[in-house]
Structure 1
Amino acid sequence: MALDPVTFETLVPSRYITFTLPNPSTSPHLHTTPLLRVAVLDSPIQPTTPRVAAILVPTNRETDWIFSTEPGHLQLLLTSPPTSRLILLGDLPSSPNPTPSFTRPCSAESSDRQHKLTPLLIALSPRSCFANGLPKILFFNYEDDVVNSVIVDRRTGPIVGELLVEDVEIEGDDGVREFRRRLRFKRMPNFIQSQIRILPNGNGGGADDCSGPLNFGGSVGVGFRLDTGVLVHPYLEPMVAGVSLIGSYLDEQIRGRLRPKALCLGVGGGALIEFLSEKLGFEVVGVEADEVVLSVAKQHFGLKDGESMRLCVCDGIAMMVDGFDTKFDVIMVDLDSSDARTGISAPPLEFVRESVLRAASLVLREQGILVINVIPPSQSFYEVLIHELREVFNELYEINVGNTDNFVLVATVSPIQPAIDE
């Protein structure tokens, strides 16, 4: 069916259209394909002033869910400056499935492509953008820290849907590179669900033995080890640091030969619960809604079910509301929203209820704490969460993670007693 150009004259909130056409920027120098994939998304919330922006899909990333799916496109729009319509332009991939590996090109080669594609973008602009003449098209650059990546596994879970396990080589701001294993969901592809550090064999260090091909730069068969002793997700260290609020109490428990207990809602790859069990000596109950996620965590992230760790497949919030036969010293909540339309947010809305928070307080011991990873989609969400926590718990502490996305909140059942030096 032919595409009617009139379609793009009006802005329709949340409308998503994809199509292909001959690539106007085809040339041997630009390394482009004959056909161009165009994806057009109108913002669900329209800014006061109409504005059109475009992103040129990075070369070799055309099949990445970030650029090839509506949820990924929406997340790009929601994290960009206010835009009425965001258009993604990239080479038409030969397959709809994610490519097995990716290597970042040496140069972006974008300025010439922008010039060649601008007439097309003007033609795709809504009529409201022409009030003062030809619209100015904004080009947003997409950059992340991935230098190389290779897909380790791809599965579909009954709750989370399609997921990917990837080995990636990343480059920090200081130019230092390291390897990570990551878990991503197709429903929220721009968000890294879990990640751990992996070490090529021969680098030493106390890491778990595991074998597998990194396949970066053709180095087929390079072995690696999982380093579960280091927390690399930015918010995990602050979550663990929150435990220090009841450090004196936990020390008393340990001196009395009582192993502290932690309930973790949300397992993902298992980095947090593994650290609590192996490094801090907690007896951990990990609750994950999707059995496939747990299977992936065990197979690819080194998670081990054992004497000090019990793993459950169920709705963690419902399980907590129903109650436990035992009480916990710590509850860790690492749950995010499953609805991409609301943007990346945590915890989910169903957790931000007085009844749920009261259930959490009843599951905790008298000196217990609730630790929550928070990614507020709006200021009002954060304010409501703070209000509900203060209605139920005694004291509330905020830990700044050091980025613009996350906060860690720690709520206490009882007042924190100051440590007394002996």
Structure 2
Amino acid sequence: MALDPATFETLTPSRFIAFTFPHPSQPDSLLRVAVLDAPIQPADAPRVAAMFVPEHRESDWIFSTESGHLQLLLGSSGISRLILIGNWPINGHCSPIIYHRAINHDSNGLEVSLKPLLLALSPKSLFENGIPEIPILSYEDNVICRVVVERCVGSFAGEMLVEDVEIESGSDVGECVKREFRRRLRFKRMPNLVQTEIRLVPWAGTDSGRLGIGEVEFRPDIEVLVHPYLAPMVASISLISSCIEERNQNGFRPKALCVGVGGGALLAFLKTQLGFDVVGVEADAEVLRVARQYFGLDDTESIQLIVGDATNVMEKIAYNANGHNLGYLGVHEAENGSYLRDGNDLNNKFDIIMVDLDSSDANDGTISPPLEFVQNHALLAAKMLLCDFGILAINVIAPSRSFYEKLIDEFREVFHELYEIDVGNEENFVLVATKSPTISCISNCENSFLNRLRLVTLGAYMDSIRKI
């Protein structure tokens, strides 16, 4: 059915339309054109922009789904309508199995040919002062090469994929460019957000001349944190480092609760690099299966995994930890991957709770944590789970300053002190809440845990912790 050009004369919040259009320079090919109007329209004059999909990434969820399109629009400040244009896969085939970034791809000719189309897809109000110029936005990321390792579907997370990528390192070693390889977990509901990222290293004995995605076997490196906000979250432990050192000196392992597991990079790091016993809570059993298979998360005596809603699980464990009889928490549920090996193991509270959850609704944009987690009853459950000197560290992506200020107010009602770490990427903050005033009973020079912490994280994050 033909589209009515009048459809595009007005802006309709959240309206999404996709169609095919003949390629102006390739008679046998089609273009996919997708038009999305912003959920909230500005009061002043509208702004329309276009973006060309990078060649061979046409089937990437970032460009082929409405949610990916929405994230691109929300990431382009002040845009009322974003028009995406990309090649339609020939004969229905998807992008190549291994994607390689196009070199010197020139779209100027296509931009000129498609200018009448862009004008036809612009709202009538844009022509009040003559024929407008439609700016062409560029999409740039650091991916040089990419291969999808597996696509799967979780009961909660929905469609997800595991991909291996080679990225720009930005550094040279002698005359050789240092090559960086990563494994990523992404969800279709938020395709522009990398849920988990770990470093990959080739297996010993690999021929360096054949080093590349799809050419050699890689293994996960769980001894480093590469996701931008994870190192700052771990750095927050320095606030209670003397208490952790005292616990270690008395022969007890510190305990961490990680709410939101994803690929499990944080859990594995806390266990291997800092000697924590870790309990992880994840809403989707399939996500845990992926974490075990591809990201090096290993169920051992030091890591226990629970499948369930984060708030519900925290409240149940909190009551159990405070002497209430909830014996069913100790039931082994191997068939769905959810278990606590022994309910009594959780009678001892946690030294730190780390929360890494994001909104499940792409229409909200990228928000962390989801609003339901910062309800008073959820924060009280978290506080009940902490030992007397314990802290809660949470990854925050705030869509607005008012959201962040409201978040701080909610935490102030429950916790004693609040601290902030600026991740430095203009997106993430780490908010740290303490159950009681922070104290230091061991000098830094005698604190081997603090020295270890500074060694495995960037010391600058520890130094930038700010009380708010």
Shorter chain as denominator, the TM-score bin is over 0.9
Q: Deviations over 1:220-276 (max 9, x none)?
A: 3x1222111010001000011101110000111111111111111000000000111
Q: Tell me which amino acid in the other structure corresponds to 1:89.
A: I
Indicate whether 1:357 and 2:379 are aligned. Answer: yes
Assess, with a 3 A threshold, how the Cα gap between structure 1 residues 98 and 371 changes in structure 2: closer, same or farther.
farther
Identify the residue that residue 363 of structure 2 maps to in structure 1: 341
Q: Tell me which amino acid in the other structure corresponds to 1:336.
A: D
Q: Tell me which amino acid in the other structure corresponds to 2:255.
A: K
Indicate whether 1:100 and 2:97 are aligned. Answer: yes
Identify the residue that residue 210 of structure 1 maps to in structure 2: none
Q: Say which of 274, 277, 280 aligns to 1:280.
A: 274
Q: Tell me which amino acid in the other structure corresponds to 2:251.
A: R
Indicate whether 1:40 and 2:28 are aligned. Answer: no
- Kept in 2: contact 1:63–1:96 (CA 8 A): no
- Kept in 2: contact 1:23–1:36 (CA 8 A): yes
Identify the residue that residue 144 of structure 2 maps to in structure 1: 147
SS in 1 for 2:114: helix
SS in 1 for 2:119: helix
Identify the residue that residue 117 of structure 2 maps to in structure 1: 120
SS in 1 for 2:252: coil
Indicate whether 1:20 and 2:15 are aligned. Answer: no
Assess, with a 3 A threshold, how the Cα gap between structure 1 residues 362 and 98 changes in structure 2: closer, same or farther.
farther
Please report how far the alpha carbon of residue 362 of structure 1 lies from its aligned counterpart in structure 2 after TM superposition. Answer: 0.8
Identify the residue that residue 166 of structure 1 maps to in structure 2: 163
Q: Deviations over 1:79-114 (max 9, x none)?
A: 002111100001001447565321001112122221
Instruction: Give me the whole-angstrom Cα distance separating, in 2, the residues matched to 1:176 and 1:127.
Output: 51
Instruction: Give me the whole-angstrom Cα distance separating, in 2, the residues matched to 1:173 and 1:42.
Output: 36
Please report how far the alpha carbon of residue 182 of structure 1 lies from its aligned counterpart in structure 2 after TM superposition. Answer: 0.3
Indicate whether 1:136 and 2:130 are aligned. Answer: no
Q: Deviations over 1:124-166 (max 9, x none)?
A: 1111111111121011000000000001010000101100100
- Kept in 1: contact 2:243–2:440 (CA 8 A): no
Identify the residue that residue 294 of structure 1 maps to in structure 2: 288
Structure 1 segment 55-94 matched on structure 2, within 5 A: 55-94=51-90
Please report how far the alpha carbon of residue 119 of structure 1 lies from its aligned counterpart in structure 2 after TM superposition. Answer: 1.1
Q: Given the two structures, how large is their TM-score scaled by the length of structure 1?
A: 0.93
Structure 1 segment 227-376 matched on structure 2, within 5 A: 227-322=221-316, 323=318, 324-325=320-321, 326=347, 327-376=349-398
Instruction: Give me the whole-angstrom Cα distance separating, in 1, the residues matched to 2:184 and 2:254.
Output: 29
Q: Deviations over 1:303-355 (max 9, x none)?
A: 10110110111111111123243211110000011010111110011012122
Identify the residue that residue 30 of structure 1 maps to in structure 2: none
Q: Which has the higher contact order (CA 8 A, sep 6+)?
A: 2
Q: CA RMSD in A?
A: 1.8
- Kept in 1: contact 2:56–2:95 (CA 8 A): no
- Kept in 2: contact 1:150–1:214 (CA 8 A): no
- Kept in 2: contact 1:63–1:99 (CA 8 A): no
Please report how far the alpha carbon of residue 172 of structure 1 lies from its aligned counterpart in structure 2 after TM superposition. Answer: 3.2
Please report how far the alpha carbon of residue 418 of structure 1 lies from its aligned counterpart in structure 2 after TM superposition. Answer: 3.6
Identify the residue that residue 405 of structure 1 maps to in structure 2: 427
Please report how far the alpha carbon of residue 279 of structure 1 lies from its aligned counterpart in structure 2 after TM superposition. Answer: 1.1
Assess, with a 3 A threshold, how the Cα gap between structure 1 residues 187 and 98 changes in structure 2: closer, same or farther.
farther
Instruction: Give me the whole-angstrom Cα distance separating, in 2, the residues matched to 1:98 and 1:392.
Output: 50
Unpaired segments of 5 or more residues in structure 2?
A: 172-176, 322-346, 447-468
Instruction: Give me the whole-angstrom Cα distance separating, in 2, the residues matched to 1:384 and 1:320.
Output: 22
Instruction: Give me the whole-angstrom Cα distance separating, in 2, the residues matched to 1:345 and 1:203.
Output: 43
SS in 2 for 1:159: coil
Q: Given the two structures, how large is their TM-score scaled by the length of structure 2?
A: 0.84
Please report how far the alpha carbon of residue 391 of structure 1 lies from its aligned counterpart in structure 2 after TM superposition. Answer: 1.2
SS in 1 for 2:186: strand
Assess, with a 3 A threshold, how the Cα gap between structure 1 residues 49 and 132 changes in structure 2: closer, same or farther.
same
Unpaired segments of 5 or more residues in structure 1?
A: 28-32, 205-212
Q: Tell me which amino acid in the other structure corresponds to 2:29.
A: P
Question: How many residues are aligned here?
Answer: 406
- Kept in 2: contact 1:214–1:223 (CA 8 A): no
Q: Say which of 191, 194, 215 aligns to 1:189.
A: 191
Q: Say which of 207, 211, 218 aligns to 1:224.
A: 218
- Kept in 1: contact 2:143–2:168 (CA 8 A): yes
Residue identity (%): 59
Deviates more, 1:317-326 or 1:84-93: 317-326
Deviates more, 1:102-111 or 1:365-374: 102-111
